[in-house]
């Protein structure tokens, strides 16, 4: 699509075709997540699982809009990542990596799909074990999930981004956990995975974002990361970074031949959305990517860590702010949780009791009024109930 055409009409949820594309992308990414969760077993290589997730999205999106008159871009919007235990995010290793999952590992799965640039992202936390999750692992998953349930109810027209930041921190504290600093929930637009309207996970003097009010017909990727540690993740090794996004507003004449070759391939194959270096020839990529990053042509998504022994849980969902209420379109059922804490705070209970539909539709969905566990009975905008049951699948 040319820039002129895009200028001509910024497509949003007032178009039923756009809503369909968001929901189709969501259906594919939910199924991809289901597949990835099933693959999370001891002694399975992480890179193989990441590859399966991406391949499934490519295959499923490839089957859509085949006969469309105009070319419709579609595929992976964010490469599959599997970040284990105290690894916070963005671990999506190269083919040569031999890391494997182990029994008891807490795995954060993060992935995205798009159809015609309309993006659905999801993140989910799964523990490699059968039976219920207990102890601190249960507490941190419950913290992330309950915070996500509260965020779903507060990301609605008329509310402010700051309201959400404050609320999710309060929820995490109720489980004796911390919301991880530096995580941003972004507005999504066509071909834009990191829109300008954002929700900051933790407000502090170093990180400021503009105050913003949510509006009808907007789409958000609500991103919640909780930790049993301090919630101040560190970059340990730049060489582990494998996910990048083209910084479209930057230009530089690269000196090395390998860099020029890689950059040309990136411009052709991944001009806008994040991609994994796995998709490039490994030796050449290692050489070429460094110069591209040093001159700001690529934005890296670094692999970050909490301290060894800390557990980190991640829940991310895509929500459409429709005229009749919030429609959460991505999720996956959690394993059974047996947290050591319960929610007694009246304010958190009040947030969880809010519906996700507006009154226009006869009073919206009723919340199941469960208070403990982790705000069980999620009663999200649409069906997808992220409640404690649902087994390990």
Q: What is the pLDDT of residues 270-323, one digit of tens each?
A: 999 999 999 998 888 888 999 999 999 999 999 999 999 999 999 999 999 999
Question: Which pLDDT band, with edges at 50, 70 and 90, does 207 fall under?
Answer: confident
Q: Which long-range contacts (CB under 8 A, 24 or more apart) does 133-138 make?
A: 133/335, 133/336, 133/337, 133/338, 134/338, 135/340, 136/228, 136/311, 136/340, 137/106, 137/311, 138/337, 138/338, 138/339, 138/340
pLDDT of residue 209: 87
pLDDT in tens, 21-30: 999 999 999 9
pTM: 0.89
CA distances from 322 to 221, 361, 363 (A): 15, 12, 15
Higher pLDDT, 265 or 384: 265
CA distances from 174 to 48, 132, 341 (A): 37, 21, 7
pLDDT at 99 over 90: yes
Percent of the chain with pLDDT over 70: 89
Q: Whole-number mean pLDDT of the chain?
A: 89
pLDDT at 243 over 50: yes
The SS3 assignment for 344 reads coil
What angle separates helix 257-269 from helix 282-294, to the nearest 10 degrees?
90
Residue 206 corresponds to which tokens in the numbers above?
A: 């170093």
For residues 191 and 273, is the Cβ–Cβ distance under 8 A?
A: yes
What average pLDDT does the segment 366-389 reach?
36
Map out the domains of the chain with their CATH numbers.
16-241+302-353 (3.90.230.10), 242-301 (1.10.10.10)
What average pLDDT does the segment 63-91 reach?
94
Count the alpha carbons within 13 Å of 356 in the hemisphere toward its beta carbon.
26
CA distances from 334 to 142, 157, 329 (A): 10, 28, 16
Count the alpha carbons within 13 Å of 287 in the hemisphere toward its beta carbon.
12
What average pLDDT does the segment 8-12 reach?
70
pLDDT of residue 10: 67
CB neighbours of 156 closer than 8 A, spacing ≥ 6?
Answer: 214, 321, 325, 326, 356
pLDDT at 325 over 60: yes
pLDDT of residue 3: 52
């Amino acid at each position: 699509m040319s820039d002129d055409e895009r200028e001509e009409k910024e497509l949003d949820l007032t178009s039923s075709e756009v809503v369909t594309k968001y929901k189709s992308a969501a259906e594919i990414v939910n199924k991809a997540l289901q597949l990835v969760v099933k693959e999370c077993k001891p002694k399975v290589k992480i890179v193989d699982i990441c590859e399966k997730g991406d391949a499934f999205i490519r295959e499923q999106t490839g089957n859509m809009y085949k006969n469309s008159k105009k070319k419709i871009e579609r595929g992976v919007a964010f490469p599959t990542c599997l970040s284990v235990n105290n690894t916070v995010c963005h671990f999506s290793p190269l083919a040569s990596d031999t890391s494997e999952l182990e029994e008891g590992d807490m795995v954060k799965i993060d992935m995205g799909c798009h159809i015609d640039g309309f993006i659905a992202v999801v993140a989910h936390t799964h523990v490699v074990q059968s039976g219920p999750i207990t102890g601190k692992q249960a507490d941190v998953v419950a913290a992330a999930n309950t915070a996500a349930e509260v965020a779903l109810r507060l990301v609605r027209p008329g509310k402010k981004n700051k309201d959400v930041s404050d609320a999710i921190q309060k929820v995490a504290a109720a489980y004796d956990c911390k919301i991880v600093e530096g995580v941003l929930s972004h507005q999504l637009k066509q071909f834009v995975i990191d829109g300008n309207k954002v929700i900051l996970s933790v407000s502090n003097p170093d990180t400021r974002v503009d105050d913003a009010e949510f509006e009808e017909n907007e789409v958000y990727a609500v991103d919640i990361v909780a930790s049993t540690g301090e919630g101040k993740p560190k970059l340990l090794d730049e060489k582990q970074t494998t996910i990048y996004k083209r910084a479209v507003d930057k230009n530089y004449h690269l000196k090395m031949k390998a860099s020029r070759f890689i950059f040309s391939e990136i411009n052709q194959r991944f001009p806008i959305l994040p991609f994994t270096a796995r998709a490039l020839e490994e030796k050449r990529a290692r050489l070429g990517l460094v110069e591209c990053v040093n001159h700001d042509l690529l934005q890296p998504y670094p692999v970050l860590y909490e301290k060894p022994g800390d557990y980190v849980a991640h829940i991310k969902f895509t929500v459409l702010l429709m005229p009749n209420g919030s429609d959460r379109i991505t999720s996956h059922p959690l394993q059974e949780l047996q947290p050591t804490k319960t929610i007694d705070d009246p304010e958190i209970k009040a947030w969880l009791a809010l519906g996700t539909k507006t009154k226009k539709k006869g009073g919206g969905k009723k919340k199941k009024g469960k208070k403990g566990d982790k705000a069980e009975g999620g009663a999200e905008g649409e069906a997808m109930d992220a409640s404690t049951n649902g087994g390990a699948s």
